[in-house]
Each structure stands twice: as C-alpha cells, then as structure tokens.
Chains A and B, each alone.
Chain A
Amino acid sequence: MKLKTLEEILKKKSSKTEFAILTNLENGNSEIYIPGTSPEGEFSKYTNEIEKFFKSKKNGVIENSEIFVETYIKPIKVIIVGAVHIAQYLVDFAKSLNFEISIIDPRGYFASEQRFPDIKVINKWPKEAFEEIETNSNTALIALTHDPKIDDPALQFALKNKFYYIGALGSKKTHENRCQRLSEAGFTNDEINSIHGPIGIKLGGKSAPEIALSIIAQLVSETYKK
C-alpha cells in the first residue's frame, strides 16, 4: 500500500464517509473506492461484486479473483441526552467501538467542552438540538437526565423517528410515570414498550462506570440484533 493511500483512508475515516479499500493481492496495487462511482483500471470489471460487499456490509476476496474488498460503513449515531457523570464513562467506553456520539443538554454548566473533549455537545433543548443532527432508524438514543422536561421531548422525537434503540435512565417508578406521560401524549403501548427502561442490562452495579457499562452492553447487543 502506498503511503498516499493510507493517508487518504485515514482522511475518509475521520470524515465518516462510506468507502472501500480495493487491493490486488497479486501485485499489491490498492485504491480507494467510493460507492456509486466506477472503480478505475484493473478493478473496473468488479463494480457489481464490490457493490455486493457494500450491501452485505462484509469484507472479503471476490470469487475467482485476487481482489480483496474491505468496506467501511458509517458509524452508528448515538445521541445522549444529559451531559451527566454516566455520560462521561459512556464516551470512554464508546471510544473503542464504532459509535459516533452527540450529547444534548440545555444546562450549560453540565455540557461543557472541558468535560467532553472531542465530542459534539449541543447546549440546547432537545427540540432545537435535533434540528442540528441528522437521524434515522440507525440512530440510538440514551436519555440520562431523568428530568421529564429534558428527557420526554427527546424520547418522543426518537419514537416518532423510529430509532432502533431507545433507553431511558430512572427507577421502575420513574419509568412507570414516564410511560404514563407518553401514553397521554398519544403513543401506543408497543411504542412505549420499545423503550429500554430502566436502561441497561442487569449487572448489579450502582456506580457511574458500572451503569455506563450496562448501558453500552445493551446498546451493542441491540445493535447486533438488527
């Protein structure tokens, strides 16, 4: 691989665009492929096969060839509501996972850059904050404030936009009240039951890093169920 190609790969990775690395295993030539375009030269006749790898989100050697395809897909977007202590540990755990995190918190003293270096922190109420983030059914929401004023609008947005994972922190009682409010707001039982609340898998721990671990474990598990 040429150093120039490596540098281009790193640039593409940090800009979170989808691409593939094509390598000719016989002569060592490699190039970057952008989906929807035509690959050049020796790779040009494999366009269909390369697109198949993209569709199945897999890496591999094209059958009856010496061409290796490695696809890079966009990381999953995870929106955390509440720049609280648990969020700091979530950010830590997510560093080695392929998640792109944004944090929403209208309370300026929580959502400071110093507490969350290198993370997109939006210091606005959920309604306005969601205007700044592109979301779809591949997005996850983790609501951590257990303050209805902040969590509820975010949960409602996530339900309406069919996020694949929605979790909300709070005790059973807090969650019951939350479900009641969502029901009054017109959400169906199926929608309300899709919220993971109380959030996280049962580990037994009560400290901030332990709760963060139980949340991230549930998020990874739900991601693989998709």
Chain B
Amino acid sequence: MKNSFDEKILDEAQDWIKANQKVVLATVIQTWGSSPRQVGSRMIVNEKGDFSGSVSGGCVESAVVSECLSLIKDNKPCKKIEFKVSNESAWEVGLACGGEIAVYIEQIH
C-alpha cells in the first residue's frame, strides 16, 4: 500500500508565489539502483537560491539549485537532468549511494 507521507511542498510553492517569488519545481521522475528518495519526491527553488524539500539525501540538491537558477535566468519552461554514480571530477553532484536519478525541473508560471 502506498502511504507516502504528505509532503507540503506544493502548498509551500503556492505560498512562495503569493510572496512574489519565482518558483521552480523539481521532481524525481526516474530512479535506477538504490536512490534515497522515491519517484515523485519534490523540492522547490526560488530566484535567490532558497530551497525546500529534497530530491536525494543531500547528494545532488546543490546541483539542482544551480540548474533551477539557470532555468529562471534563461527563462526556459523546463528541463530534464540525470545524475549518475559519483566520480572524482564531479564529486559535488554524484550520488554516493551508487544509484542514478532523473530530475525534472519546471517553472511555475
């Protein structure tokens, strides 16, 4: 039985928008191997780089924030990003757990 805990991220997204912030919604859309968060997990990012929620266990959040900031800057509607097993050249954006995830980011407009 699916009884995922009720994330309040979408409610928070609405609050941010009401406060005149630009909001990008990031959603885990696919996972391979062991990944910390399930498909459907979410985080939101505003134009200042503040964020709430999570798409991993802290492994790729900073990379997602910078992708979201670029999306706002370039005024693009959406983008799909894949994160793979960590390696030395990209230590910051790797998944230490050895899994892979795909994250979809989209502006709320």
Contact = CB atoms under 8 A, between A and B. Distances in A.
B52 interface: no
A1 B108 contact: yes
Contacts of B29: 25, 60-61, 68
A2 interface: yes
Contacts of B80: 25
B103 to A, nearest CB: 11
Contacts of B38: 59
A44 to B, nearest CB: 21
Contacts, number: 73
B3 A23 contact: no
B96 interface: no
Given A97-B3, A97-B5, A59 B10 contact: no
A60 B11 contact: no
B6 A28 contact: no
Interface stretch (A3-11, A114-122, A171-179): A3-11
Contacts of A73: 2
A146 to B, nearest CB: 27
Interface residues of A, number: 33
A48 interface: no
A226 interface: yes
B3 A98 contact: yes
Interface residues of B, number: 26
A196 interface: no
A203 interface: no
Contact of A59 (B11, B17, B25, B39): B39
B30 interface: yes
A37 interface: no
Interface string A70-89: 11010110000000000000
Interface string A166-207: 000000000000000000000000000000000000000000
A28 B105 CA distance: 9
A98 B40 CA distance: 15
Given A7-B14, A61-B30, A223-B1, A97 B109 contact: no
Contact of A68 (B2, B5, B104, B107): B104
A60 B2 contact: no
B104 A6 contact: no
B77 A3 contact: no
Nearest 6 CB-CB pairs, A to B? A57-B2, A28-B78, A59-B40, A28-B77, A226-B1, A59-B39
5 contacts: A9-B10, A10-B14, A23-B106, A27-B78, A224-B3
Interface of A: 1-3, 6-7, 9-10, 13, 23, 25, 27-28, 30, 57-61, 68, 70-71, 73, 75-76, 96-99, 138, 220, 223-224, 226
